[in-house]
Amino acid sequence: MSDNPTNEGRPTNEAAPIRQVNKRGAARLAAVQALYQMDVAGTGVLEIAAEYEAFRLGKEIDGATYRDADAQWFRAILSGVVEDQKTIDPVIRQALTEDWPLSRLDSTLRAILRAGVYELMRRQDVPVAVIVSEYVDIAKAFYLEDEPKLVNAVLDRVARRIRGEGRGRDPGKDVG
């Protein structure tokens, strides 16, 4: 008997489907991939941004078409994470438990968290729920286990600390 009656006769161990990606969502995914590539290969931000814009964003590679992405959003996340990494990493460390230092996370997970925390810190115009949801979805594209839950927990902790109660900017609230 299946745990999921709507999937009877089909495997149930597949990853949950990722919802339709918008241009900003595609830019977020591309930024995470670029941050990963920078971390692993030591590629510089200008070189990686030029490569993605020329050959990946909205382009076809090996028969697969990459979604059209908001290039400006992509550049803002990529350059913002690089410029603010000395501020972003301590924020992530504070949101992790003591037995999970930032250095213990793999490069993909670090890239996801850095991009998400950058947006929480610097993009007050974007609601917390959107940021958290987008980066959890990105984590689900790469991981089938507990990593998406970790992304959700860390980004929620950061959002509560930075923006208060995990909600987006409240124009009527004075944030000290």
Residue 88's contacts (CB-CB under 8 Å, 6 or more residues apart) are 81, 114, 117, 118, 121
Q: pTM of the full predicted structure?
A: 0.79
- Domains present along the chain, CATH in parentheses: 20-163 (1.10.940.10)
Q: How far apart are CA 32 and CA 117, in angstroms?
A: 12
Q: Which helix H or strand E contains 60, and what residues bound it?
A: strand 60-61
- 86 and 93 Cβ atoms separated by less than 8 Å: no
| Residues paired with 60 in a beta bridge | 65
- 86 and 92 Cβ atoms separated by less than 8 Å: no
Q: What's residue 35's pLDDT?
A: 96
Give pLDDT tens digits for 70-104. 889 999 999 999 999 999 999 999 999 888 888 89
Cα torsion for 27, 140, 44, 24, to the nearest 10°? 10
Count of all residues that appear for the chain in the document: 176
| Residues paired with 65 in a beta bridge | 60
* CB atoms inside a 10 Å sphere around CB 20: 7
Q: Which helix H or strand E contains 65, and what residues bound it?
A: strand 64-65
Give pLDDT tens digits for 12-68. 344 444 433 488 998 999 999 999 999 998 889 989 888 887 777 766 666 666 667
